[in-house]
Amino acid sequence: MSQPPAPAPQRAPLLPLDEALADLLARAQPVLASESVSTFEADGRVLAQDLRSALDVPGHDNSSMDGYALRVADLQAGKALAVSQRIAAGSSGQDLAPGTVARIFTGAPVPAGADAIVMQEDCAVQDDGRIQVKAMPSPGQWIRRRGEDVQRGAVVLARGQRLSPASLGLAASIGFAQLPVARRPRVALFSTGDELVMPGEVAPEAMKSGAIYNSNRFFLRALLLRLGCEVSDLGIVPDRREATVQALAEAARGHDLILTSGGVSVGEEDHIKPAVQALGELQLWQIAIKPGKPFAYGRVNHAQGFSHFIGLPGNPVSSFVTFLLLVRPFLLQLQGAGVTQPERLALRADFDWPKPDKRREFLRVRRNAQGGLDLFGNQSSGVLTSAQWADGLVDNPPGQRIARGDAVQFIPLSSLMG
Ligand code: AMP
Ligand code: MG
């Protein structure tokens, strides 16, 4: 009797992206310590404490126009009123004398007794200096109320908020010259691959066959800087086990994260896996996305603790996309920022995608003038032009065919890159 054929070796199923992300975020705890920085320098940093206002903004009812402050009840048809005082921004006036108006300028406090501002365009100044109001004001008109922007005691910016230029202005408006923020993540970055050459070191015409310029190093560094990281660029590590171990051991000291690209597949020239295992622990994840299947997370131990390790695929588009989908939220979480789902829009596909992958795909697309999406022609994970051309990714579910006119999920790259 013949033997039944041996079962094919079981391959671990690919990990869904959402599970990988949840696991990664759980590992990014606890968050970094905080430090105090000048409000001027805090753009892009993550607030480490709630900011509570010690005052009302504005601090007083004030005029939002150049004009005249008055009591609406003092206005009788055709009757001109005398100007009893002049109040400029930065000064404070007196109580408004009955039957008079106060000359007032934008930002100046409204005098007690006045209940409306009439803008100067709606007034005529008579020869005797009295003011004739041409249009009857409504009570409260052109008055910015005390506390209408910020109320005393209110939390104006919450812990975990990533600070934008507007946040800095708002923090300044309640008197903060310094802000408590999470310290910058310290990230060691290196690329693996004996084929890699740095631009500037070898001229294009002198490139040997098989050599390529290191492109990942440039966009990964730029993306890290945009996320507020302090980057130690450790260059290119050769495809050798001992060199990889040594580079990782050195990088672990003084860094919160070691980020590498390339060498995370399971080929003979992929040395990242055994090197991380020699120094700590590794979870090698094959994530069910395209591009970006190979992805590794681990920890590299050192005398004082450990450094997180993330290994990105070598293919530039895979590296780019996995950074945006996984490393970015990881680094935000490390700084204590609230991690939210990326912004998505349902937009019309102006293309066909008849042969979807079994994996969830992130297609490089661009919005067109008709409000639909065009697809970049070559979706290969090696074609970095697609990432430059695109202004977003279509998040396409596994096996989902797309026909022209279908609504698809669009993620703007701008929402993943700041
Ligand atoms: P690997 O993941 O090391 O097998 O690399 C996959 C592909 O990405 C290969 O074609 C590499 O040459 C390419 N690659 C790896 N690292 C880089 C890099 N830093 N810049 C550009 N291409 C790279
Ligand atoms: Mg390689």
The confidence score (pLDDT) of residue 227 equals 96
Residue 414 phi/psi, 5-degree rounding, is -60, -30
User: pLDDT tens, 324-355?
Assistant: 999 999 999 999 998 889 999 999 999 999 99
User: Which among 254, 334, 337, 268 is positioned nearest to 297, based on CA atoms?
Assistant: 334
Residue 125: the pLDDT is 97
* Degrees to nearest 5, angle at CA 265 with 263 and 269: 50
**Ligand 1: lining residues by beta carbon, under 6 Å:** 191, 193, 195-196, 212, 214-217, 261-263, 265, 313-316
* CA distance linking residue 156 with residue 122, whole number of Å: 37
- Ligand lying nearest the CA atom of residue 217: 1
What's the CA gap between 172 and 192, in Å, rounded? 45
CA angle 165, 216, 400 (to 5 degrees): 85
- Ligand number, closest to the Cα atom of 235: 1
- Nearest partner of 367 among 381, 348, 353, 386, judged by Cα: 348
What is the pLDDT tens value at each position of the chain, 418 positions in all?
A: 455 665 555 567 899 999 999 999 999 987 899 999 999 999 999 999 999 999 999 999 999 999 999 999 999 877 999 999 999 999 999 999 999 999 999 999 999 999 999 999 999 999 999 999 999 999 999 999 999 999 999 999 999 999 999 999 999 999 999 999 999 999 999 999 999 999 999 999 999 999 999 999 999 999 999 999 999 999 999 999 999 999 999 999 999 999 999 998 877 788 999 999 999 999 878 999 999 999 999 999 999 999 999 999 999 999 999 999 999 999 999 999 988 899 999 999 999 999 999 999 999 999 999 999 999 999 999 999 999 999 999 999 999 999 999 999 999 999 998 7
In sequence order, what are the residues at sequence separation of 6 or more whose Cβ sits closer than 8 angstroms to the Cβ of residue 242?
none
| Atom of ligand 1 at shortest range from CA of 217 | 19
pTM: 0.92
